[in-house]
Chains A and B, each alone.
Chain A
Amino acid sequence: MTSALTLTRTTIGQKVVVAVTGLILFGFVIGHFLGNLILFVGPEAFIDYGWTLKHNPPLLWGTRITLLVAVVTHIGLTMSLARRNASARPSRYKKAREDQVTSYAARTMVISGPLLAGYILFHIAHFTAPGLAFGGAEFDHVNIYANVVSSFNVWWVAAIYVFANAMLGLHLFHGAWSALQSVGAQHPRYDSIRRNLAIGLAVMVAGGNMMIPLAVRGGLVGDAEQLRAAAEHAEELRAEAGMLTGDHDDVSGEELE
């Protein structure tokens, strides 16, 4: 273990840690994306999904702590590496160095990274704590279906999510491919699929997430009937929880939180 800790003494070791934390975050993003897709199953299923997660403290807090450690390590080491990289060429080329093969995603990692960090803070504030209401709707800690629909009915909230997921796609594409390179997951037999795998996963996650605000804007998700069903189902869950605690009236959003 002490040997593993000396990894951060070299730039490559630091990159390995950035890669591993990045892969943890990538894994979460895939899980999160699959959860998001439940929205298309129907209001009841989506609300049940949220309810189940929320009432599973070990899973909830285990994930939160893992993600927090991963994200702080990922950003911290990346910033230190980026500073080092920026200072490795103190005198710039006067006639601009020509990029021959690098990708847009690779060149914009230092931009997509901070933008994503900002977006994640916004996203957490929006849907978790404190839970921001957009478009005049009340934030509802149980009826997450209504939260999604009312938020994305506001055009600029939907626009932020679409833009952020485009950034996420770029970051995941270069990140996934780079991470495999950094941990040395390379073999002539599998090299051709590494890049395609990175592109496939990035497009799947970013494209799938973008479908949600677009579906709400396009009226595919969140019609009056679905919203009524969602509200009814949320009430049922509240009532059930109230019966379990023996105090129906006092079960408020704060307690469920």
Chain B
Amino acid sequence: MSDDTIDLKLFVWRQEGPDAPGDFQDYSKYAKGVSTHASFLEMLDLVNERMSADGERPIVFDHDCREGICGCCGAVINGIPHGPQKQTTTCQLHMRQFENGAEIYVEPFRAGAFPIVKDLMVDRSSFDDIIQAGGFISVRTGSAPDANEIPIPKESADASMDAATCIGCGACVAACPNASASLFTAAKLAHLNMLPQGQAERYKRTRLMIQAHDDAGFGGCTNHRECEAACPKGISTDFIARANRDLLVATVTGKDGRLV
């Protein structure tokens, strides 16, 4: 490994609490000599260590697995959720993506339904509310079946798996001009609605999860497809059309009784 390092012009959003005013602070003096092999979060770790040594309060940010699979991390980096690299979470974004002397602005995912906890950390409980409304299977589906016991077309299994790659990070909401969680909701719906075990509660699930989405205060979809571009898993907006179709069927036919 080479020992290339870069100096950054780093500006990070600092905010004490949900209702406190916030602004960008210039931390360029702590962001010198950053290894290009460092991930974005490791760069923030380095900055935090140096800030702590100076007696400053470290930058608060969410993180957990640092492998791009848990959905914990996420910040808007130079106007793009998870930064400039396609299909990459913030933790998997590496500093070699940036030029020496690059200006980097880091701010939290912004949405009314994602209140800021502190600095870059936001409260994504509204996603849990959507899942709790119907993102599960409660009918009895039996114990683990033998392989290939339930016939599932390969295309359906693949599409369902594509939807299931959603890690619930919230980049779709952050990228959407309307702060809509349509892609998240649609992915979670497709994940269950495209498999045999999900059929029994398909339409009820669709209505309840979409209602929970609206109740949380997310905006509606206007088909900009910014969510798809920002999604670290590259989930397609085709799933949104699929959710729309299921909602239309559920509502017009009244398949599962009333909505709420």
A residues at B contact (CB < 8 Å)? 3-4, 6-7, 9-16, 81, 84-103, 106-107, 109, 174, 177-178, 180-186, 188, 191
B residues at A contact (CB < 8 Å)? 11, 13, 23-24, 76, 78-80, 105, 107, 110-113, 116, 155, 174-175, 177-180, 182, 207, 210-211, 213-214, 217-226, 228-230, 237-238, 240-248, 251-254, 258-259
What's the nearest-Cβ distance from chain B to residue A159, in Å? 30
B226–A95 contact, CB under 8 A? no
Closest residue of chain A to B252 (Cβ to Cβ) is A4
Q: Is the interface of A mostly helix, strand, loop or mixed?
A: helix
- Starting from the known contacts A12-B247, A84-B219, 15 additional A-B residue pairs (CB-CB under 8 Å) come to A7-B248, A10-B259, A12-B221, A81-B220, A89-B112, A94-B23, A95-B107, A97-B175, A100-B226, A107-B224, A181-B223, A183-B245, A183-B248, A185-B245, A186-B241
What's the nearest-Cβ distance from chain B to residue A29, in Å? 20
A101–B228 contact, CB under 8 A? yes
B259–A88 contact, CB under 8 A? no
Question: Assuming A94-B24, A97-B175, is B245 touching A4 (CB within 8 A)?
Answer: no
Across the A-B interface, the 8 shortest Cβ-Cβ residue pairs:
A184-B245, A88-B219, A186-B241, A11-B220, A98-B79, A85-B178, A3-B254, A102-B224
CA distance A98 to B219 in the complex (A): 18
CA distance A122 to B207 in the complex (A): 42
CA distance A214 to B251 in the complex (A): 47
A93–B241 contact, CB under 8 A? no
A98–B254 contact, CB under 8 A? no
CB-defined contacts of A88 to chain B, threshold 8 Å: 111-113, 178-180, 217-219
User: 11 A-B pairs, CB-CB below 8 angstroms?
Assistant: A11-B210, A11-B214, A12-B220, A15-B244, A85-B180, A94-B23, A100-B226, A101-B228, A181-B241, A182-B223, A182-B241
CA distance A96 to B110 in the complex (A): 12
CB-defined contacts of A12 to chain B, threshold 8 Å: 182, 210, 220-221, 243-244, 247
A184–B241 contact, CB under 8 A? yes
Of the candidates A15, A101, A180, which one forms a contact with B225 in the assembled complex, judged by CB atoms under 8 Å apart?
A: A101
What's the nearest-Cβ distance from chain A to residue B152, in Å? 17
A9–B259 contact, CB under 8 A? yes
A102–B245 contact, CB under 8 A? no
